[in-house]
Amino acid sequence: MGSSPLITLDNVSRSYQSEGAEVTALKGVSLTIHKGEFVAIMGQSGSGKSTLMNILGCLDKPTAGTYRIHGRSVAELNDNQLAALRLKTFGFVFQRYQLLSTLTAQQNVALPAIYSNTSEAERNTNAARLLGKLGLADRILHRPGELSGGQQQRVSVARALINGAEVILADEPTGALDSASGEQLLALLTSLHREGVTIILITHDPAVAEHAQRQVKLLDGEIVEDTGVHPGEPFLVERDSPVVAEFPSISTGAALSMAFSSLRLNWFRTLLTLLGIIIGVAAVVTMMAIGEGGKQDVLKRIEAIGTNLISIRPGGGNIRSSGDIASLTLDDANALEQIDGALYVAPERSSRATIRYTDNDFSGRITGTTPAYFYAKDWEMSQGVFFTNDDVTSYAPVVVIGDTVAETLFEDKYRAVGEYILMKNAFYQVIGVLKSKGANAGGSDMDDEVLIPITTGRLKVFGRPYLSSITIKAASTEAATAIQAQALAILTERHGKEDVMVRTTDSLVEAVTETQNTLTWLLASVAGISLFVGGIGVMNIMLVNVSERKREIGLRMATGAKPGDILKQFNIEAWVVCVLGGFVGILLGYAVIFAISQFSISVAYTWLPPVLAFFTSLVVGVLFGFAPAHKAARLNPIDALAEE
């Protein structure tokens, strides 16, 4: 097999469908360009020059005819192979330079080398070397806005050369330059040609075309003149296989650093995007901490009561216990004392009343009970004694009060014992004051007890003989379950029907846990919705981002980025936003938790909510970042580059 020319166009046509009508920009163009040639393609505006260049540079495909590079038909190549050709074989120089204004000259030149997986250090060295060669050594850190048109165009030539292009495709490269800079650029192209680079120069200006060795003239999409190969020009050795090997995707490191620099450049927009995720994640973390804190708080209170207590209340099944249900009696309580392992059986009945000492009043709950109550609750006395079983059987008019009650009624609470207080037209002697238990976790006072013998209470305060509850203290937490069953059996037999509820704190714990868990998940899902809304915000901003950066995307693709590279870059940008937002959100969540814990609201610091929130935000990034990234990867580079 002999060597094939670098470029062979065989009867190539390109037509556009525009508003229903068909416009044919190229009509059966046949052209052969050898390696090492310097060809000018001339023609008036609209003659099809740019269309031809886009086809030559593999940004566009012919609608008819064949285009071969080193003998290989371009029609057979897939997107990634075409990207490899743009990356390694061709270098574009555009009329309007197409530099990225946010990058320095060096970064602009180095850009295409990202897609050939050159290391950052090597990219920068090569870019600096090329810029130095083109006379811009002292301009490498300048941004395009700080450079003249001629300098910018030289930067774009350097960019075209960074991956060692065989062919430079320059579309009206002097079109935007003054004549002196134009001459300089043409001299540069001529010297590159001498070094062996194939140059295809597109221009409408015959004076510019003179710099080339060969002129090809287009008119209405057809070649009307071709000066042919320059006589005496030795062809360079041509290879048979072009570089169409697909390149691996850009490294994640490169994509990450591109993501960070683009997020930094648009920091305000980034911040707004982050805010959605931050608030969502912080809300999830805070809500779950509050829910969990509430649960642990209630559980702690139950624990404080004791896990070996069994409480019996009237009612059961479908009977509600709120009314005065006449089922539990003092005899029931006595009957329950026979149960093995029941340490104390404390009957209880309470009602509200006002007690008075001289001019001082105390209104609150009056509880009638037996000494068992005192032992069951593990209470202690600070003064005096608790009433005895004898007091109970003799209907003694005695009272034991809590610390708060003593403070309310007496000038000096230490002189309470022995005094007489008045309640419902009867006098009671204070025989003891309970040791202060302080406020419980919920903030309510636990020292407001007023206790009298159940018998005395039944006679003088409550009016009716029924109990509001019976509390049994089991010898151990393990014994509680067995006692619960026995108590229910005894009472059911005594009453002839099941009309009481027997509960251990275990079942209470279960019920509380269940309701609190439901509450926690409810709060979390409300917060989750805000995270979802944050995700939609990310998608929205990323879509705007893609529309705004069309030109950049087009340029990246023209210089060799594969659609997969663009997809990766934009996906990673979305992930970075969400991961950053998730991280800051967790910190903010903890700050909020800490702040509210200062207002004696119970919160729990657990590992689950932050982990959950973080992964949710990551998933949000993956889900909502995909559509914008996909849109970016599918952009047509020609349209994208035309964007101003």
Positions that interact with ligand ADP (CB under 6 A): 16, 18, 23, 25, 43, 45-51
Look at residue 381 and give its three-state secondary structure. strand
Q: Which residue, 50 or 286, is less far from Mg ion as judged by CB?
A: 50
In angstroms, give the least distance from the CB of 548 to ligand ADP.
22
Q: Which is nearer to ligand ADP, 201 or 430 (CB)?
A: 201
Question: Which residues does residue 31 pair with via DSSP β-bridges, in sequence order?
Answer: 9
Closer to Mg ion by Cβ: residue 111 or 558: 558
Where helices occur in 96-137 by DSSP H, the ranges are: 105-114, 120-133
Shorter beta-carbon distance to ligand ADP: residue 25 or 250 = 25
Alpha carbons 322 and 570: distance in angstroms, whole number: 62
* CB of residue 287 to ligand ADP, shortest distance in Å: 53
Q: Give the DSSP H or E segment for 310.
A: strand 309-314
Question: Residue 136 carries which side chain, given as an amino acid letter?
Answer: L
> Whole-angstrom Cα distance, residue 424 to residue 368?
14
Helix (H, G, I), strand (E, B) or coil at 446: coil
Provide the minimum distance between the beta carbon of 203 and Mg ion in the complex, in angstroms, as a whole number. 10
Q: At what angle do helices 550-558 and 79-88 cross, to 10 degrees?
A: 80
Shortest distance in whole angstroms from residue 26 CB to ligand ADP:
8
Question: Residue 108 to residues 113, 200, 265: CA-CA distances in angstroms?
Answer: 10, 22, 15
DSSP three-state, residue 93: strand
Give me the residue label for tokens 């009453």: 495
Residue 401: half-sphere exposure toward Cβ, Cα within 13 Å: 30
Residue in this structure with the two tokens 């897939």, named with its chain if needed: 78
Question: Could you tell me whether strands 342-357 and 469-474 are parallel, antiparallel, or unpaired per DSSP bridges?
Answer: antiparallel
To the nearest whole angstrom, how small is the minimum distance from the Cβ of residue 165 to Mg ion? 21
User: Which of 219/488 has CB closer to ligand ADP?
Assistant: 219
Q: Would you say 220 or 238 has its CB closer to ligand ADP? A: 220
How many Å apart are CA 291 and CA 293, to the nearest integer? 5
Query: What, of ligand ADP, Mg ion, none, does residue 43 touch, CB below 5 to 8 Å by kind?
Result: ligand ADP
Please, what is the minimum distance in Å from the beta carbon of residue 96 to ligand ADP? 13
DSSP string, 322-356: SS--TT--HHHHHHHTTSTTEEEEEEEEEEEEEEE
Residue 51's binding partner out of ligand ADP, Mg ion, none, with CB under 5 to 8 Å set by partner kind: ligand ADP
Residue number, 65 or 535, with CB nearest to ligand ADP: 65
In the complex, which residue's CB is closest to Mg ion? 50
User: Judged by CB under 5 A, does residue 50 bind Mg ion?
Assistant: yes
Only segment of 44-52, 353-361, 362-370, 528-536 that touches Mg ion (CB under 5 A): 44-52
Tell which residue, 163, 179, 184, 160, has the closest CA to residue 171: 160
Residue type, 233: E
- Let me know: does 26 contact 51? Beta carbons within 8 Å: yes
Q: Which is nearer to ligand ADP, 335 or 638 (CB)?
A: 638
From Mg ion, ligand ADP, none, interface partner of 46 (C-beta below 5 to 8 A by class): ligand ADP
What is the smallest separation between the CB atom of 51 and ligand ADP, expressed in angstroms? 3
Residue 109: CB minimum distance to Mg ion, A: 24
Binding site for Mg ion (CB under 5 A): 50
